[in-house]
Chains A and B, each alone.
Chain A
């Protein structure tokens, strides 16, 4: 029984989608998350992010705001109207700390709004907490 649970967990890795146009940030985030046993997908703009989100149905999306083609706000607003994507947990990871930006993201229902630069260890703790909480709710 115990072994089975362990087995099941391995096959159900928590999926995280990183949407950011800065390759350095994506890379460092991805490396760290993968080391912590998360399954990571990436997208370089909001449009790609939407496609990935619908395809992979991630548990958590780490979303930047300023991106080419489609920015984070627009992606988030579209995501919330996409069937099946309304409840995906979104954490904003952005260099924009303007009140209007925070308000706009908040209005779409986000888990957190984190201003760059941030402490990676704290972000990991936060993600872990959210995932645990959501699992508990699902049970």
Chain B
């Protein structure tokens, strides 16, 4: 009974204090006890508060030190970056510009911020970025321009958003590309020179042998014919080797621009198979094609893809014993189109699978007699596929041959168009090479591809911004945009040497169809002409410009 009572009335904080348990409990007693307990709690809380606030201050201090240290490190890292770096706040003010950025933009490493701002304004970069920013999250972009001291600078910009997708800053990085561009030009010139020197003598040897075989010098006996046939075959091998070596160095130096156009992979595969049927028949090897008709057209260089396929087929036939089978198949993944070449040869051991794509590596599988090569074929294939943004790999089929696969990513015409319009802008944004008049006309292969026009429009806007940089030449500017046709006209400067400049630009733009825009169907029509003085009406301007362009070419 007592136990029960006690249990009920013991204040919680004194539960284990035997002496504290009173004989008799009143309400007044209870309240008194409660009050004193409360006091104790309060004082404890106060103590805790004081302590924690002290801790907090300490913590705050050390965090501050850490942050400051990190800030200092980061600042000096930014300061000494070889690339220029500029941070712009959402109101367009420059928050930070490092030494490289100052030097690249103004030529002086201690130029004040407002001079940097002026330089950026003069280049129209803020507007350029503003006109390029879409509503996309973390938007970014890149373009090139010529600096005050005539260097070619590459500018990358990136908008940084906060958690609510509100832009908090734009980061700009600048890189001097002058040397890189000059180096690659020197390399490609060297390749051109070497290729000429290697191919010319080979041509006269081959021609002479061909003439003797054709009877130009009179009748020849069977033995001579056999010898000369060997010479011809070896000349071909030598020519292939030269081409392979040149391709390798071209791919290495980036001197092999891709001639991308929309291609049906089926056509290329069938063409390659046809070219190898005779060789395959000799070994009674069957070539099968398992083609998926749903595979979409690719934007790729048909000649180069054919080269890759020919190389893979050639290897497959070489390494497949008599009465074997070679199968070409294609299929589609969400991102890419994959093409596979499978043979029933001896396969490639796992440990050397990665090495076969190295230059000059030769694996002596049981190749047919007389097989010779420099070991460049697969390396070139791999480089070509990489240049297309895809990859080339091999799988062994456990003693049942091997399977080479390559992927070509699906690329929209818009992406390619955008890239090459940016390249085009490079050729006209130099202060010394002002354009006479440029007219761009985009004809979409697919009228629904409004995306393409959207891209073109963006780039045109940036071209206009670039043009604005040189206001002394800004005598006129006309932009015409229709549903599926677009034309940009940048009008001439007041100098009299417009003809010369125009010629130069025509040359620049002429180079584009073959090395960048690709096939005519996808090709925006570009015309350049002098400013037609006869009219101010945009429609007439285009007509006259077209006419003048025709006359000029």
Contact B206 A121 (CB under 8 A): no
Tell me the bound Cα distance from A117 to B191 in angstroms: 16
Interface membership of B127, Cβ < 8 A: no
Measured between C-beta atoms, what is the minimum distance from B196 to chain A in Å?
Answer: 4
Knowing A96-B195, A99-B257, A103-B514 are in contact, say whether A120-B206 is a contact too (CB < 8 A).
yes
Tell me the bound Cα distance from A106 to B512 in angstroms: 12
Q: For A116, what are the chain B residues with a Cβ–Cβ distance below 8 Å?
A: 199-200, 202-203
- Binary interface encoding of chain B residues 367-401 relative to chain A, with 1 for a CB under 8 A from any of its CBs, else 0: 00000000000000000000000000000000000
Q: For A56, what are the chain B residues with a Cβ–Cβ distance below 8 Å?
A: none
Contact B214 A22 (CB under 8 A): no
With beta carbons under 8 angstroms apart, the residue of A35, A95, A100 that contacts B195 is A95
Contact B192 A103 (CB under 8 A): no
- Binary interface encoding of chain A residues 28-57 relative to chain B, with 1 for a CB under 8 A from any of its CBs, else 0: 110110010000000000000000000000
Contact B203 A117 (CB under 8 A): yes
Tell me which residues from 52 to 99 in chain A have a Cβ below 8 Å from any Cβ of chain B. Answer: 66, 95-99
Q: For A99, what are the chain B residues with a Cβ–Cβ distance below 8 Å?
A: 256-257, 259, 511, 514-515
Q: For B251, what are the chain A residues with a Cβ–Cβ distance below 8 Å?
A: none
Contact A25 B203 (CB under 8 A): yes
Which among B208, B210, B255 has the greatest number of chain A C-beta atoms within 10 A?
Answer: B210
Measured between C-beta atoms, what is the minimum distance from A88 to chain B in Å?
Answer: 17
Tell me the bound Cα distance from A31 to B214 in angstroms: 11
Measured between C-beta atoms, what is the minimum distance from B179 to chain A in Å?
Answer: 21
Q: For B507, what are the chain A residues with a Cβ–Cβ distance below 8 Å?
A: 104
Interface membership of B151, Cβ < 8 A: no
Measured between C-beta atoms, what is the minimum distance from B239 to chain A in Å?
Answer: 5
- Binary interface encoding of chain B residues 325-342 relative to chain A, with 1 for a CB under 8 A from any of its CBs, else 0: 000000000000000000
Chain A at the B interface: SS class: helix
Contact B214 A35 (CB under 8 A): yes
Q: For A136, what are the chain B residues with a Cβ–Cβ distance below 8 Å?
A: none
Tell me the bound Cα distance from A88 to B200 in angstroms: 25
Contact A103 B200 (CB under 8 A): no
Knowing A103-B511, A104-B507, A104-B511 are in contact, say whether A97-B207 is a contact too (CB < 8 A).
no
Which among A22, A117, A118, A119 has the greatest number of chain B C-beta atoms within 10 A?
Answer: A117
Chain A's closest residue to B514 (CB) is A103
Q: For B135, what are the chain A residues with a Cβ–Cβ distance below 8 Å?
A: none
Interface size class of A (residues with CB under 8 A): 20 to 34
Q: For A121, what are the chain B residues with a Cβ–Cβ distance below 8 Å?
A: 210, 214
Contact A66 B196 (CB under 8 A): yes
Tell me the bound Cα distance from A99 to B304 in angstroms: 13
Contact A28 B513 (CB under 8 A): no
Measured between C-beta atoms, what is the minimum distance from B373 to chain A in Å?
Answer: 18
Knowing A100-B515, A117-B235 are in contact, say whether A95-B203 is a contact too (CB < 8 A).
yes
Contact B210 A32 (CB under 8 A): yes
Tell me the bound Cα distance from A66 to B198 in angstroms: 14
Q: For A96, what are the chain B residues with a Cβ–Cβ distance below 8 Å?
A: 192, 195-196
Interface membership of B36, Cβ < 8 A: no
Contact B235 A31 (CB under 8 A): no
Contact B195 A97 (CB under 8 A): yes
Contact B207 A100 (CB under 8 A): no
Interface membership of A5, Cβ < 8 A: no
Q: For B553, what are the chain A residues with a Cβ–Cβ distance below 8 Å?
A: 107
Knowing A98-B255, A100-B515, A103-B511 are in contact, say whether A32-B214 is a contact too (CB < 8 A).
yes
Knowing A28-B211, A117-B203 are in contact, say whether A102-B196 is a contact too (CB < 8 A).
no
Q: For B515, what are the chain A residues with a Cβ–Cβ distance below 8 Å?
A: 99-100, 103
Tell me the bound Cα distance from A99 to B256 in angstroms: 7
Interface membership of B204, Cβ < 8 A: yes
Tell me which residues from 233 to 277 in chain B have a Cβ below 8 Å from any Cβ of chain A. Answer: 235, 239, 246, 255-257, 259
Q: For A11, what are the chain B residues with a Cβ–Cβ distance below 8 Å?
A: none
Tell me which residues from 11 to 30 in chain A have a Cβ below 8 Å from any Cβ of chain B. Answer: 22, 24-25, 28-29
Chain A's closest residue to B204 (CB) is A24
Tell me which residues from 209 to 231 in chain B have a Cβ below 8 Å from any Cβ of chain A. Answer: 210-211, 214-216
Q: Which residues of B contact A (CB under 8 A)?
A: 188, 191-192, 195-196, 198-208, 210-211, 214-216, 235, 239, 246, 255-257, 259, 507, 510-511, 513-515, 553
Known interface pairs A35-B216, A103-B511, A116-B200; 9 further A-B residue pairs with C-beta atoms within 8 A, sorted by A's residue number:
A95-B195, A95-B196, A95-B199, A96-B195, A98-B192, A99-B259, A117-B203, A117-B205, A117-B235
- Ordered by A's residue number, 5 sampled pairs between the chains whose C-beta atoms are within 8 Å are A28-B208, A31-B216, A99-B256, A119-B210, A121-B210
Q: Which residues of A contact B (CB under 8 A)?
A: 22, 24-25, 28-29, 31-32, 35, 66, 95-100, 102-104, 106-107, 115-121
